Chain A
Amino acid sequence: MDKMEGSFALEDMQNVQINIGAIVKEVDEWDQPMGPFPYPSIATLRDWDFKIMNRYKVFYSPICDRCTLCTYGPCDLTGDKRGACGIDQAAQQGRIVLIAVLMGCTAHAAHGRHLYHWCLDKFGDLPFKMGDEILVDAPLTRTIAGIKPKTLKDFGPVMSYVEEQVSQLLACTHTGQEGSFVDFESKALHAGMLDSLGKEVSDLIQIVAYDMPRGDEDAPLVECGMGTLDKKKAILITYGHNLAGSAEAMFYAEDNNLWDKVDIGGVCCTAIDNTRICEGIGHPDKEFNDNYRMVGTKAKIAGAIGWWRKMVRGDCMDCIMVDEQCVWTDAIVDAEKYKVPLIATNEKIMLGLPDRTNDPVDEIVDDLVNFRMPGVVVLDPVKAGEVGIKTAIAVKPKRAEIREADPFLSEEDFKKYAESCTYCHSCQFVCPPHIKIGDVVRAAAEGNYEPLSTTYEICVGCRRCEQVCPQDIPILSLYAYANREYIRNQKFKMRAGRGPVKDTEIRRVGAPLVLGTIPGVIAIIGCGNYPNGTKECYDIAREFVDRGFIVAATGCMAMDMSLYTDEEGKTIWEQFPGGFDGRNICNIGSCVANAHLHGAGIKVATIFAGRNERANYDDIADYILNKVGACGVAWGAYSQKAASIATGFNRLGVPAVVQSHSVMYRRAFLGRADKREDWEIIDARDGSKVYCEPAPEHMLYVAESVEECMLMMAKLCFRPSDNNSGRMIKLTHYCDISMKYFGCMPPDWHVYVRHASDLPLKWKEDMMKELESKYGWEIDWKRKAILSGPIRKSDVSFDPTNIERKIRVKK
């Protein structure tokens, strides 16, 4: 890179120049000038964070009032007490939030780091190409790091940056470091942003290295559900998030023509990534490309995380490979108990097992197949894949022999257990979704299995009930027994993860999104801790697809919504096309792929609005906050990754709604609609201040019921930039959802009315009457016009911003 005067390159950061004085162009074909904040450090974007938090108040609901982190403790921090180190309750909560967000961030980033090394080892450095329809190809990397990667190796410095920042941030949680809750939260927002970057890098590396679809709305439909696993074959389950070992198992099966002997079923995000392999624009390595074209379609999606223990009890596996993240740590206990050999393939999860990485494959397989050890560690993905396939095939008949003598649960056992229930309710005290387990078991004892089948999808498989049952009733096994027909028939289709949103799609939807005529982007993300069952995933998706929103899903919710069909037996993926457009539903991919949803927001700002994204994070976030009606939902959020994902969305100006268990995250960002001064926005045209309606009203919101969730999502799609017809459309959906599920209009609909043409046509007359009679607005009935009343006038050329440097001409 040519250096120019007054500039310096950061060590180890190729293609980055920070200039002192005039802006310097990088000497490559990306002609965007470097923005103000390349590789932002902890304090760089603090002003932006404070802007967010001035409006969206940091709200804490402590789950624990104490701190036990150092030897001065335990300290009681209840109310206005402080710990021995001086920390108060709010800061302590912020500290815990930061730690949780860092856990999530590092899980994604370390996943990316592993893939980075592994893919470079396996494939060498590959050109970073996203195809002709994706030219803005790594939007978060460009926006945060300010670089445009050309090969996989270019992501190295990006990962190093994330790792350095994470280490700085974790240091802040030591006793006697940060002491202010707002600064803890600014740091958490920073960690959330790093999380989004780590995810982007992870997914882009695997997209290129494994030739996954690049924004393909017609990505293939793949098989999903426990019933798709063919019991006549050996079943290898690959569980976790990092496809390295699992992909090798698939390649081994392909190379050796073993697909008629083995089924590979993924659990959690590995499932999604397995089914994306070699479905892209073609791998640069011709031989690899020829050998494995469309191999992803041969893998099956066994299910999302909430189904794990149900699969174990449902006898759906002969061998397990685990990689990383969200692997229930008692997998090895179950593996041993049910004689399912387990292979740990990643350093992050070794479960106390012997490391056999350097042993010959056949010796390892022999030990596993003869149950000399319940599991092994094999860290070489290629070897792990071969061990997995060979073990699954060889152990299947052995397991059958053992199991004939010892089936999981006979009818007799089922009855015996059900009848032993004393109706003590200990189980119900601990069941997260509050299933009335005592009633369910009692009904089963009386021969009525109906409650066991209707609550099967509601059970999150946590096994807490079994642990407290004084009668040692294996409740999950009762479920498995009563639902064995369902398990056999759980066969559905899901669209394989399509990857990023294409530039062409953004061009098509950019204007309608910013004007509001496409009422919003609904980003459905995350895990399987649903308050009331998997069906609500489908209900949420259907509600918004039907209403013409852009609906994009990732991760476990994408899998769980696949388990339901319409009257014609079609899953949501078969009912609607897979584009990034209104009345479409796209599966973006696994949870690292949800970085492409951030990416889509960034691309609206760059492709549609022509903003420079390069090293310009706050400007882009400001654009998204004010102009891109998008809302995330994590209706099954359980993990620290979900915390970092939501926090990363929030820093980029995208609100999120989560389910009621999410109070465990302790922190929300909630607006105060009653404080006019909180909603003052700058008009970038002349710097004047405008009081706006609260849009979006909240940043991170816990909903108590799915009905409230849907209403809030519709509301959080309002943006100050909506034009009249856009606002009218959004208001129509907001009021319509309220009428449908609440039986009345929302109490604050009038707040969002700026002009008579904002009013939904179907209620226009009545609404105008109410504005006059209830709220005292002045109405000109002849012209059907609003003369006074609204918070502000509608103004088509209003250019809302929260950033002073965006003001074009000072008044």
Chain B
Amino acid sequence: MAVDTTKNPVPFEMAQIPGPEMAKAYNTAVIGAILKKAKRPLLVVGAELFEDPVIFDKAIEIGKTGVPIAATAHSIKGFVERGYTDNVTMIGLHPLTNYLRFKDWQGLDGKGQYDVVIFMGIFYKFASAMFSALKNFNRDIKRVSIDRYYHVNADMTFGNLAFNVDQYHEAVDEVIAKLKG
């Protein structure tokens, strides 16, 4: 049975209510399909990975499917420690989002702007604000969260799974399976 990631669509910080346009919570099959279909996806991971290190391995699995990884804060360290840095780039979340909002940016590899960004393991309030920047100032990029939180400013997100670690891990695995399949 797949994890129901559409439950609990409540902002993790309850007062984060931006306005009329709020994220929809999707199941893992739909999110996986969107990632698979993306032409220029970018996985963005942050320092919260250190609090649940198994997510590093899951990020690497995603990386191995060909999705490049932006390692924000000092999360690059986790990839270095695991000996996987092939398509991982160290960059701050703030400048990265600044680049993402400009249509003329050529990406971390110089090959063009991204069409889907996927956030995972980033401090909630910061991630939410960066989604908001893209929601308001570059609507060409699809905003996907596969973090353990309901992300109100994303296009597509899980509901809150912050208090059920096992289910969260399972949900990420399901997305990865879909991506690989």
Q: Do A and B bind each other?
A: yes
Alpha-carbon gap, A703 to B132, bound state (A): 17
Q: Chain A: which residue is nearest B98 at the CB level?
A: A670
Residues A704 and B18 in contact, CB atoms below 8 Å apart: no
Alpha-carbon gap, A672 to B102, bound state (A): 10
B84 to chain A, nearest CB (A): 12
Partner of A430, one of B14, B94, B102, B128: B14
Residues B139 and A708 in contact, CB atoms below 8 Å apart: no
B166 beta carbon closer than 8 Å to chain A = no
Stretch at the interface among B28-36, B54-62, B74-82, B168-176: B74-82
B133 to chain A, nearest CB (A): 4
Give chain A interface residues in 355-370, CB to chain B under 8 Å.
none
Residues B73 and A703 in contact, CB atoms below 8 Å apart: yes
Alpha-carbon gap, A742 to B74, bound state (A): 5
Given contacts A76-B19, A712-B92, contact A672 B98 (CB under 8 A): yes
Residues A704 and B92 in contact, CB atoms below 8 Å apart: yes
Residues B106 and A674 in contact, CB atoms below 8 Å apart: yes
B130 beta carbon closer than 8 Å to chain A = yes
Residues B95 and A670 in contact, CB atoms below 8 Å apart: yes
Q: Chain A: which residue is nearest B133 at the CB level?
A: A61
Note all chain A residues with C-beta closer than 8 A to B106: 674
B113 to chain A, nearest CB (A): 12
Given contacts A704-B47, A743-B77, contact A61 B130 (CB under 8 A): yes
A675 to chain B, nearest CB (A): 9
Residues B92 and A674 in contact, CB atoms below 8 Å apart: no
Stretch at the interface among A63-71, A153-161, A341-349: A63-71
Residues B80 and A63 in contact, CB atoms below 8 Å apart: no
B41 beta carbon closer than 8 Å to chain A = no
Given contacts A670-B98, A672-B99, A704-B47, contact A429 B12 (CB under 8 A): yes
Alpha-carbon gap, A77 to B18, bound state (A): 11
Residues B139 and A743 in contact, CB atoms below 8 Å apart: no
Give chain A interface residues in 632-667, CB to chain B under 8 Å.
660-661, 663-664, 666
Number of B interface residues, CB 8 Å? 50
A725 beta carbon closer than 8 Å to chain B = no
A99 beta carbon closer than 8 Å to chain B = no
Alpha-carbon gap, A744 to B80, bound state (A): 7
Note all chain B residues with C-beta closer than 8 A to A57: 98
Note all chain B residues with C-beta closer than 8 A to A674: 99, 105-106
Alpha-carbon gap, A429 to B102, bound state (A): 33
Given contacts A663-B125, A674-B99, A705-B74, contact A78 B92 (CB under 8 A): no
Note all chain B residues with C-beta closer than 8 A to A743: 76-77, 80-81
B6 to chain A, nearest CB (A): 19
A215 to chain B, nearest CB (A): 35
Give chain B interface residues in 81-98, CB to chain A under 8 Å.
81, 85, 89-95, 97-98
Note all chain B residues with C-beta closer than 8 A to A425: 162-163
Give chain A interface residues in 57-95, CB to chain B under 8 Å.
57, 59-66, 76-79, 89-90
Residues A78 and B122 in contact, CB atoms below 8 Å apart: no
A428 beta carbon closer than 8 Å to chain B = yes
Note all chain A residues with C-beta closer than 8 A to B133: 59-62
Note all chain B residues with C-beta closer than 8 A to A664: 125, 129
Alpha-carbon gap, A594 to B166, bound state (A): 48
A531 beta carbon closer than 8 Å to chain B = yes
Residues B135 and A78 in contact, CB atoms below 8 Å apart: yes
B52 beta carbon closer than 8 Å to chain A = no
Note all chain A residues with C-beta closer than 8 A to B137: 60, 89-90
Partner of B74, one of A429, A671, A708: A708
A53 to chain B, nearest CB (A): 13
Note all chain B residues with C-beta closer than 8 A to A666: 129
Given contacts A79-B136, A672-B98, contact A64 B19 (CB under 8 A): yes
Q: Chain A: which residue is nearest B139 at the CB level?
A: A79
Give chain A interface residues in 660-709, CB to chain B under 8 Å.
660-661, 663-664, 666, 668, 670-672, 674, 697-698, 701-705, 707-708
Residues B19 and A704 in contact, CB atoms below 8 Å apart: no
Alpha-carbon gap, A429 to B150, bound state (A): 11
Residues B125 and A747 in contact, CB atoms below 8 Å apart: no
Q: Chain B: which residue is nearest A58 at the CB level?
A: B98
A328 beta carbon closer than 8 Å to chain B = no
Q: Chain A: which residue is nearest B10 at the CB level?
A: A429
A389 to chain B, nearest CB (A): 41
Q: Which of B16, B92, B122 has the most CB of A within 10 A?
A: B92
Q: Which of B20, B46, B129 has the most CB of A within 10 A?
A: B129
A434 beta carbon closer than 8 Å to chain B = yes
Partner of B123, one of A59, A660, A701, A741: A660
Partner of A708, one of B73, B99, B129: B73
Note all chain B residues with C-beta closer than 8 A to A434: 123-124
Partner of B126, one of A428, A663, A712, A746: A663
Q: Chain A: which residue is nearest B50 at the CB level?
A: A705
Note all chain B residues with C-beta closer than 8 A to A430: 13-15
Partner of B132, one of A61, A670, A741, A744: A61
A705 to chain B, nearest CB (A): 4
B72 beta carbon closer than 8 Å to chain A = yes
Alpha-carbon gap, A702 to B130, bound state (A): 11
Residues B21 and A65 in contact, CB atoms below 8 Å apart: yes
Partner of A59, one of B98, B126, B135, B162: B98
A–B pairs, 30, beta carbons within 8 Å: A57-B98, A59-B94, A60-B133, A63-B16, A64-B19, A65-B19, A65-B132, A65-B136, A76-B19, A76-B20, A78-B19, A78-B21, A78-B135, A78-B136, A79-B135, A425-B163, A434-B124, A660-B123, A663-B126, A663-B129, A666-B129, A668-B94, A670-B94, A672-B99, A672-B105, A702-B93, A704-B123, A742-B90, A743-B80, A744-B80
> Can you add 11 more A-B contacts, CB < 8 Å, to A672-B99, A698-B94?
A61-B130, A61-B133, A66-B18, A429-B13, A468-B14, A701-B95, A707-B74, A708-B92, A742-B80, A742-B90, A747-B90
Closest 10 CB pairs of A and B: A65-B19, A663-B129, A61-B129, A704-B73, A707-B74, A743-B80, A705-B73, A743-B77, A61-B133, A670-B98
